[in-house]
Amino acid sequence: MDSCKVVIVGAGIAGISAASRLCEAGCGNVVILEASDRIGGRIHTVQFGDDEMPIEMGANWIHGSSHANSVFSIADQIGAITPYRLDNTASHRFLREDGTEIDRQSVLTGYNIFKKAEHEMYSQMKALKPENGKPVYIPITRYLQLFDQERQQLKPDQNVADITLVLTAFENYIRNHEGDELERIAWEGSSSWNVEEGGEIHIPGGYVQILQHLMKGIPRSALKLNSEVTKISYAKGGRKTLVTIKNGAQYEADHVIVTCSIGYLKKHMGTLFDPPLPIEKSRTIRSIGMGRMNKIFLEFESPVTKPSYNGIILAWKDSKVDKATWYKRILGFDQVFTKDNTILGWVAGDGAEYMEDLSDDEIGITCVKILKQFMGRADLPRLKAIRVSRWCSNPYTLGSYSHQTERLTPGEQEDLARPVRCPLSKKPLLMFAGEALVNACTQGARDTALSAASAIIEHYTTSKL
C-alpha cells in the first residue's frame, strides 16, 4: 500500500490544476490516478492529416477571452493563442436542402430573433426566486415559444419561409451549445452559463499546451495512468482514506479530490464510495444532466469552404430525428482555420448518440452526401480521412459536458462543491471538482479544482504540509 497526502482522481484539466496548485504550495506528496492511457480527460488534442497542426476531439474553445478567465490567462502567458481567432455564428452561410443559400437579410432577421429570445430567457432566469428548496427553472423549450411569438409578428413582405428555416437552424445551434435535446434541459434559477465576456477563441496549437504547462510543476512520478479507481473508502472518524484501483493496488491518503465527469459519477457512485455519499451530494449528481455532443472531422484532397473561412449552417426543413436520420442533428460544418482541406461537423443530442453506432466510413459517406446536397456541388473533392469523437460511449466520460435540468434545486451544485469533512478535526476528506459544479467549461473545471486544493491548503495554515 502506498501512502500520500492527497489522491486526485482524474487527470483532466481539473485534476491537473488541483495537483499543480498543491505542488506550488509545497505539497508535492500528491498522486493523480487516471483511468485512461493519457492526460486531458475531455481535452483531447490529436494529430490529423498531413501537417503538424492538431485538432481537438474534445474541448474546442476558450469561452471568454479575458484575464478573469483562468484558462485564457495561462494560454496568453505561454503564447498559445496566436494567431487569435474569434467565433461568430452570424457570419456563417445558411444553406437550404436544395443547395441554395438563404439571403443575408433573412439570416440576420432570424439571428436577431434568436438574440432577442436569448436576452428574454436570461432576463426571466434572473428574475426567478427560490421557493422553499423546490426546483425553480426555465425549460429551454421556451426558446421555441419565443421564436413563434416573433415569427407571428413578421411583416408580409418579409421572407417568412426562409426566416423559419433560419430559426430551425438556431434550434439546432441551441442543442449544440447546451449539449443535448431541448426537452432535457432547463436553466435553474440561480445560475446558468457562467463564462466571462470576450467571445470564444481557438487555441491553434492545441488545448494540450495548457495541460503540458501545468504538468511542468508536478513531479513526473505523481501521475499514474491506466489506474481506474474502483473504491474510495473515506472514514469520517479521522482515519486516512483508502483508494483502490482496478488492479487491486491501494493508496492511503489524508484527502481525495474527485474530478470524474458527471456521466461517470451517475453510473458508478453507488459502488465507488464507501460509505455512500451524503444524500444531498448523490441527489445533485443524479439531478445534473450529462450532455451528448460529438465532432466529425473531414479531410479532403482540396479545400471545401476556403478561402472564405465562413462555416456553413444546415437549414433543415424539420427537426425530427431518429436512428435513420441522425444526421439532422448536424448543425453545420466549420472550416478548421489551421488546416485548409479540413472541415469540422458538429452533432448533438440524439443524433450524436445514434451516430456512435456507425463506422467512420458510414459517417463519412453520409457527410459527403449532405455536403453535396446543401452546397449544390456534385464536384466535391475526394474525402481523404475522417476522425469522429464518441464521448457518449467513452466509459470514462459517458457524455460530453453537463447541463442543468428541471430536477436541480437552487444551491445544489454549490452543495456538491463543498468538502465532506471529518466531524472532529474539520479536515476536508473528500472533495469534488469539475465543469459540472459551475456550468463553465474548462475554466469552471480549473477554478473548482483550485478551490478544492485551497480547502486543503487552508486546513494546514497553522501547520506544515
Which tens digits make up the pLDDT trace of 213-246? 999 999 999 999 999 999 999 976 668 999 999 9
Contact 275, 264 (CB under 8 A): no
Q: Cα(449)–Cα(443) distance, rounded to whole angstroms?
A: 10
Integer angstrom CA distances of residue 33 from 11, 38, 197: 7, 11, 34
pLDDT of 293 > 60? The answer is: yes
Instruction: Tell me the pLDDT tens digit for each residue of 300-330.
Output: 999 998 666 578 999 999 889 999 999 999 9
Domains 2-41+202-290+403-459 and 45-89+291-388 share a fold: no
Give the residue-averaged pLDDT of 362-374: 98
DSSP states of 230-241: EEEE--TTSPPE
CB 377 within 8 A of CB 253: no
Query: What pLDDT is attached to residue 319?
Result: 86
Contact, 330 vs 111, CB < 8 A? no
pLDDT for position 400: 97
Amino acid at residue number 264: Y
**Quick check: 83 pLDDT over 70?**
no
- 376 vs 201, higher pLDDT: 376
Residue 177 has pLDDT above 60, yes or no: yes
Exposure string of 96-125, with b = 16+ CB inside 10 Å and e = fewer, is: beeeebbeeebbebbbebbeebeebbeeeb
- How much is the pLDDT for 411? 81
CATH architecture of 45-89+291-388: Alpha-Beta Complex (3.90)
Give helix then strand counts, H and E, for the chain.
12, 23
Does 372 score more than 80 pLDDT?
yes
pLDDT at 19: 98
pLDDT of residue 210: 96
pLDDT value at residue 237: 64
Protein fold of 2-41+202-290+403-459: FAD/NAD(P)-binding domain (3.50.50)
DSSP alpha helix (H) spans, 254-392 = 262-272, 279-287, 349-355, 360-375
What percent of the chain has pLDDT above 90? 75
CA distance 318 to 208: 38
Look-up of cell digits 464518441 = 390
User: For the residues of 81-146, what is the DSSP string, one character each?
Assistant: T-S--B--GGGSEEE-TTS-BPPHHHHHHHHHHHHHHHHHHHHHHHH---BTTB--EEETTHHHHH
Q: Is it the case that residue 286 has pLDDT exceeding 80?
A: yes
- Mean pLDDT lowest for which of 51-55, 409-413, 453-457? 409-413
Return d(Cα 322, Cα 234) in angstroms, integer. Answer: 44
Q: Tens digits of per-residue pLDDT, 244-269?
A: 999 999 999 999 999 999 999 999 99
8-state DSSP, 50: S
pLDDT higher than 80, residue 281? yes
* CB contact burial 65-82 (16+ within 10 A = b; e otherwise): beeebbbbebbbeeebbe
The DSSP bridge pattern shows strands 200-202 and 342-348 to be unpaired
pLDDT at 168 over 90: yes
pLDDT (average), residues 70-99: 84
pLDDT at 426: 87
Cell 512520478: give the residue.
221
Provide the b/e sequence for 44-64 (b: ≥16 CB within 10 Å).
bbeebbeeeebbbbbbbbbbb
Q: Where are the domains of the chain?
A: 2-41+202-290+403-459, 45-89+291-388, 104-188
Burial of 334 (0-12, 13-18, 19+ CB in 10 A): buried
CA-derived radius of gyration, the chain: 23
Residue range 16-34, pLDDT digits in tens = 999 999 999 998 899 999 9
